[in-house]
Amino acid sequence: MEKQIESQGLSRRKFLKVGGGITFLVTAVGLPALVFKKGEIGESKQISAWVHLASDGTVTIYNPASEMGQGTMTALAAIFAEEMDADWSKVKIEDAPVEPEIYGIGWGGERGGSMLTVGSRSVSGHYNNLRQSGAQARYVLLSAVAEKWGVDRKELKTDSGLVFHPKSNKKITYGEIVEFVKIPESVPEIPDSELKNPKDFKLIGKDYQRYDIPFKVDGSAIYSGDIHVPNMVYAAIVRSPVNGTQPELKNETAIKNIKGVLDLVSLNHGIGVVASNMETALKAKAMMEITWKGDPKAKSHNSQDAYEEYEALSKSSKTGSIVTQSGDLNRELPKAQKTIRADYKNDYIYHAQMEPLNAVAHVKADSAEVWVGTQASDGTRNDVANHLGLDFKAVNLHTCYLGGGFGRRSMTDFVIEAVDISKAVNLPVKLQWTREDDLQYGAFRPISLQKLEAGIDQNGNINSWKHVVIGTGGGLLGSGADIPFYDIPNKLIEVRNIDHGVRTKHWRAVGHGPNKFAIETFVDEIALEQKKDPYQLRRELMKNHPRELAVLDKVADMAKWDSPVQEGRARGIAFAERSGSLAAGVCEISLDRSTGKIKVHKIWGSLDGGVVVHPANAKYQMEGSLVMGLSSVLFESITFKEGQVEQSNFYDYPILRMEDAPEEIILEIIPSTEKPTGIGEAGLPFMGAIISNAFAALTGKRLRHMPFTPEKVLEILSS
Amino acid sequence: MQYAFILNGKPVQVTAEEDANLLWTLRERLKLTGTKFGCGVSLCGSCIVHIDGKPVKSCITPLSQAVGKKVTTIEGLSDDKSHPLQVAWIEEQVPQCGYCQSGQIMQAAALLAENPNPNREEIIKHMNGVLCRCGTYLRILKAIEKTAQKV
């Protein structure tokens, strides 16, 4: 079978094309030169682009994705180690070099796309490639042993870092193979039939610890701000308070005279100060007096007025971009027996990753070196190279741990700033954003108004569904607006956009947060209006979608949905998909009616993520995303006044604290043999709706504008 | 200016400006980078270290306040991740991005040093000022409770 495949054309050329990732591919893109130089090899060898094997048995696997807390550096290595049959206790994980030709993935999971860690796509995107690459590494080892022992490769078996030949009872460790392993001229694509049978998996779907955690309990994990380079200087920047305005520094001499200030660097959007130490850079930044020039679009943006602008746009006869259209809504909706309408709103929110943006850059005459925690490693390399007019290969990018990303760190604005300043002063520079910089020069999850309308037919069924999302941020608005799992014959889902000239960006789960809030709250409103149980209404709507139904049923079962709730408490339920994963949640809340504070006691969550590579971590990602989601739902709001962000730090942009965390979070993953889907955001989208739905069950009043701050709650209660 | 203090059990001398700050001295002058910068104004706790056993926000602490005192950072909590909280943190797999965790552990260590067996309410009250964005609070709570039971 395998021979046949080889003869069918897994030639070197084809192999290169499919990007199997072994030897010649490695040399082709110039990975460490030590690999194939005999005599310089020392005690270890790189046996494919993905793995380095040492004679003591240490297996170093390259991590192709950014590690920002989601834990995929462990899961990805586990997939590879599974098929290589490596001894997990001897596995080390290092970041892969920035070589998207090898380590990148396309949106369909094809090899050679980008090394962009977004959209919960790392495990789902790399799954097949890493199984294949791991199996190929195993093939290389088996071939070497077969030749050495003069036996048929197919008679050899492996077991966690050991090759053995049952017929002769010979065995050898992977580490011992290093001495004689040769990389074959061609390595075949291993057919699926020769990959591990999932029932033999030792890692995939099993319990194992995260690789990064020990480094995160003693301060030894390295984030980019932790980097020190000889002769490094420190930089801070005052950036335009209104996006698009340009700076004019009024007190240049005074700033330059501050002891320790080395230089000032003018940028389009701000002024950088370079100093011999961090304190001086930050002090000088605070002392700069700047006049901001220009009259950009953002200057006229007042976010509290935006909802009126959206309302007006919703009445325009001009259609926006259509997310989904089916049946004939314009014909059917007017014929409905009953029409139900509701509007939902959500303010801008900020990423608030705990590590404020920072980067270290050293621009030299014809090269650049950059240290950064980024979600876009090749994108950063490319942007830096293009910005400086350098070849990609002249940019040496060192990836670091990210102190949170959530979408903010897939932008490269902060890296380009560090590069500009380093170039200007001709020294290595550590650029540090303050929290205020990070917040006020943020790029936010867009504000939106969501107008929903449902037509109920004479049988009490939802016959028509109209959902118009109106907001800013263009393409960020539509994600999650579709509801393919709810069988409603006539649907029109549409996005309308107004550009306010302010910065917006993907924020964990993107549009799914606001859109699922609106959709799933609206379903609840329809249920109450129709005197139906909201869980049962969803069951009816998704009766032809067994996977979705199973997830919903699971969470209802876990939460004992039909059982009575403790006095003073109520439950809410919702369903949401994200990145292919299906999730449902139930929460139990109570309310302090004097302060307006909502207390979340329990959250139950169910998840179908296909094959789950690292279940313990998958659950933890779901826990994290629903806690972060809860934070956004209860507390978070960015407002603009004349284009300027009104908040500045955690005192006026509070995020959830320990006292507001749910008392208990109970999660279950539904076993599946379907292909893996993205898990890192799946717990977030349903959060707005479960809280709003529980609140309605508790009070009979409806929260339709996120965040549900105590002030808003009190206002709703007294309405 | 010269500043002398005991850092993680060893005497250190630092030459720095008059307005030198403890956080940036630890991170940039002494290259002990486990202590993190999060907000700069004592609102998040990523920068927590101990001075004479008490938790302080190093981001707002002038270096002069450390003079003659014992400063302990996450690097000095143990040599080998063996502090009971570090052990519990690994067992419970607490960190996600990890950035706030030095501050979390240092804050928790100060609590247990003073009150070896805090109840849940006391833990929450003590830990409430240390922010985490990844949603690790329940595991932090569990790790502290577990450690408290052992102590």
CB–CB of A354 and B78 under 8 A? no
Residue A539 CA to residue A548 CA, distance in Å, equals 9
Q: Which residues contact A602 (CB under 8 A, 6 or more apart)?
A: A559, A587, A588, A662, A663, A664, A665, A666
- Alpha-helix residue ranges (DSSP H) falling in A635-686: none
Interface test with A, best of B18, B72, B91, B97 (most A CBs within 10 A): B97
CB–CB of A658 and B124 under 8 A? yes
CATH number of the domain at B61, please: 3.10.20.30
Residue A538 has pLDDT above 70, yes or no: yes
CB–CB of A624 and B134 under 8 A? yes
**Does the domain spanning A224-296+357-432 belong to CATH 3.40.1000.10?**
no
CATH no. for A303-348+444-717 = 3.30.365.10
Please tell me the total count of domains within chain B: 2
Residue A652 CA to residue A28 CA, distance in Å, equals 53
Residue A19 has pLDDT above 80, yes or no: no
A217 CB neighbours in chain B (<8 A) are 81, 86, 89-90, 94-95, 101, 105
Residue that terminates a domain, selected from B76, B95, B120: B76
CB–CB of B127 and A626 under 8 A? no
Q: Which residue's structure tokens are 């796509």?
A: A121
Residue A141 CA to residue A131 CA, distance in Å, equals 16
10-residue averages of pLDDT along chain B (151 residues): 98 96 98 98 98 98 98 97 98 98 98 96 98 98 94 63
- Residue B47 and residue B30 share a domain: yes
User: Residue B58 belongs to what domain range?
Assistant: 2-76
Q: b or e along A409-420 (b: 16 or more beta carbons within 10 Å of the residue's beta carbon)?
A: bbbbebbbbbbb
Q: Does A623 lie at the interface with B, CB-CB under 8 angstroms?
A: yes
User: Which residue does chain A place closest to B86, by CA atoms?
Assistant: A217
* B82 or A48, greater pLDDT: B82
Specify the pLDDT at position B151. Answer: 63
Q: Does A655 lie at the interface with B, CB-CB under 8 angstroms?
A: yes
Chain A (26-55) residues lying within 8 Å, Cβ to Cβ, of chain B: none
Chain B (73-132) residues lying within 8 Å, Cβ to Cβ, of chain A: 73-75, 77-78, 81, 86, 89-90, 93-102, 105, 124-125, 127-132
pLDDT tens sequence across A148-160: 999 999 999 999 9
Residue A234 has pLDDT above 90, yes or no: yes
Q: Number of residue pairs across A and B with CB atoms under 8 Å?
A: 183
First to last CA, chain A: 73
Residue A52 CA to residue A140 CA, distance in Å, equals 12
CB–CB of B93 and A353 under 8 A? no
Q: Is A489 exposed, middle or buried (0-12, 13-18, 19+ CB in 10 A)?
A: middle
Rounded mean pLDDT of A222-248? 98
pTM value is 0.94
A354 CB neighbours in chain B (<8 A) are 36, 38, 44, 46, 97, 99-100, 131-134
- Encoding tokens for residue A117? 């860690």
Specify the pLDDT at position A466. Answer: 98
Chain A (430-469) residues lying within 8 Å, Cβ to Cβ, of chain B: 432, 434-436
CATH number of the domain at B90, please: 1.10.150.120
Q: Cβ(B71)–Cβ(B50) under 8 Å?
A: yes
CB–CB of A355 and B101 under 8 A? no
CB–CB of B44 and A662 under 8 A? no
Rounded mean pLDDT of A305-329? 96
Residue that terminates a domain, selected from B76, B92, B119: B76
Q: Does A304 lie at the interface with B, CB-CB under 8 angstroms?
A: no
Residue A676 CA to residue A205 CA, distance in Å, equals 11
Range of weakest confidence among A105-114, A447-456, A496-505, A677-686:
A105-114
B139 CB neighbours in chain A (<8 A) are 620
Which CA distances in Å does A15 have to A8, A18, A111, A194, A277? 12, 5, 12, 18, 51
CB–CB of B37 and A657 under 8 A? no
Residue A324 CA to residue A479 CA, distance in Å, equals 11
Q: Is the peptide bond before A707 cis (omega within 30 degrees of 0)?
A: yes
Residue that terminates a domain, selected from B42, B76, B110: B76
CB–CB of A659 and B128 under 8 A? yes
Residue A486: which pLDDT band, with cuts at 50, 70 and 90? very high
Residue A598: which pLDDT band, with cuts at 50, 70 and 90? very high
* Closest CA of chain A from B108, distance in Å: 12
Quick one: which of A492, A508, A497, A536 has its CA closest to A621? Answer: A508
User: Which residue does chain A place closest to B136, by CA atoms?
Assistant: A624
CB–CB of B99 and A404 under 8 A? yes
CB–CB of A280 and B36 under 8 A? no
Catalogue the E-assigned strands of B8-144.
Answer: 10-15, 48-51, 54-57, 70-72
Residue A182: which pLDDT band, with cuts at 50, 70 and 90? confident
- Residue B69 and residue B14 share a domain: yes
Specify the pLDDT at position A43. Answer: 60
Which option is the CATH number for A2-215: 3.90.105.10, 3.30.365.10, 2.60.40.10, 3.30.1380.20?
A: 3.30.365.10
CB–CB of B89 and A234 under 8 A? no
Specify the pLDDT at position A183. Answer: 79
Rounded mean pLDDT of A184-192? 85
- Residue B102 and residue B59 share a domain: no
- Would residue B91 be called left, alpha or beta, if left means φ above 0 and alpha means ψ between -120 and 50 degrees? alpha
Specify the pLDDT at position A187. Answer: 84
Q: Which one of A219, A279, A432 has the shortest CB-CB distance to B21? A: A279
Q: Does B34 lie at the interface with A, CB-CB under 8 angstroms?
A: yes
- Encoding tokens for residue A499? 């550009």
- Residue B98 and residue B72 share a domain: no
How high is the mean pLDDT of chain A?
93
Question: β-strands A490-497, A462-471: how paired?
Answer: parallel
Domain coordinates in residue numbering, chain A: 2-215, 224-296+357-432, 303-348+444-717
Rounded mean pLDDT of A640-667? 98
User: Which residue does chain A place closest to B35, by CA atoms?
Assistant: A219
Taking the CA atoms of chain B, what radius of gyration do you get in angstroms?
A: 15
Rounded mean pLDDT of A85-109? 94
Range of weakest confidence among A20-29, A55-64, A651-660:
A20-29
Specify the pLDDT at position A161. Answer: 97
Structure ipTM: 0.98
pLDDT tens sequence across A451-482: 999 999 999 999 999 999 999 999 999 999 99
Q: Which residue's structure tokens are 């080998």?
A: B80
A620 CB neighbours in chain B (<8 A) are 93, 96, 139
Q: Cβ(A654)–Cβ(A582) under 8 Å?
A: no
Rounded mean pLDDT of A257-268? 98
Specify the pLDDT at position A24. Answer: 27
Domains A2-215 and A303-348+444-717 share a fold: yes
A74 CB neighbours in chain B (<8 A) are none
- Residue B56 and residue B112 share a domain: no
Residue A184: which pLDDT band, with cuts at 50, 70 and 90? confident
Residue A17 CA to residue A331 CA, distance in Å, equals 51
pLDDT tens sequence across A555-570: 999 999 999 999 999 9
Residue A295 CA to residue A297 CA, distance in Å, equals 7
Interface test with B, best of A67, A72, A217 (most B CBs within 10 A): A217
pLDDT tens sequence across A387-427: 999 999 999 999 999 999 999 999 999 999 999 999 999 99
